[in-house]
Structure 1
């Protein structure tokens, strides 16, 4: 009678226990917290990153260099740096960390002055009367890649690694490259010097726009 006089009884409030709250978090309920990455997952990610960095550091890259209208000395200086690996931060004189260099158009190299006739290449067979001398023109006509090859070989350090470095040098007299080598090319080395243009390569518009020292009058006649 007292309960009826005071009004209807309210249902008791449901208070979830600590165990049920933790269970809801584990089951992904509204109070669930985001899972933190474990130490093993972080170590795996770090190992993958380090492995990729190591592969990129120690990999052999392939470079392309166009020797058209370039002096052999400048070509060799840019090539030797890549063959030795001196452009890498891991370079050491006793480590073999160089890259491959592909040189094209060795037939179209250029010498300054009259070096084609003045420069002489000497060789000796080791037998009596085996001393021979040829000019740069004669050697170039016999083998269009010989001058660049000799220049690079003489510029490399004189140690046991020189022949190994020369195996990573690929010379072609023209711009035709095998497909297997062409697929490996990664970057092109800029030419050491700007290639000059011949007179027959200028258009009539460029010739007409070229500044003239003296413009002859219309009634001018040559004697």
Structure 2
């Protein structure tokens, strides 16, 4: 079966779940608004500029979860889904996913955002396979660290290849939808790269390479 790979933030979602999670923590009073907000915004700018230290960012993002047990994390994420993520859902994205599903393609979300934030989002979108940056969990508690390679830039290729080797799938004829120039390494590996509401750097590259450029925004 052909793979249909989807980036999540600002591709399937009309917004960035990672940055929005930080803003949600501020809103809930879980983190210091001024210091955390400044750092969260700075990391987001680094991401957009292609200069993000993904390990430093993920450790920053995960630190707030260290004191929370699984029930507290679940409750917090349920609120996040209802208040923040549901308004980011895009009907055109749902239709695109369904188009590939009807074609019999294997659907995969591949995202740099950690699996704690993105797991329930993938479930809500009806996509069973999620390749994401993985938080370290010991005795059901988050340590604030990640395990394995971050699913970011070239790391997406590593994560995908690991998954391919265990599932028997291949990249033959694969599609990959993304908004970000950070995903150029993987976009250049697939047969069908598609730029979705692309950032300036990706739009330039996609235009030069004559890749399809689409919008999923209403």
TMscore range, shorter length: under 0.3
Q: Which has the higher contact order (CA 8 A, sep 6+)?
A: 2
Structure with more strand by fraction: 2
Structure with more helix by fraction: 2
Q: TM-score, normalised by structure 1?
A: 0.27
Q: TM-score, normalised by structure 2?
A: 0.28
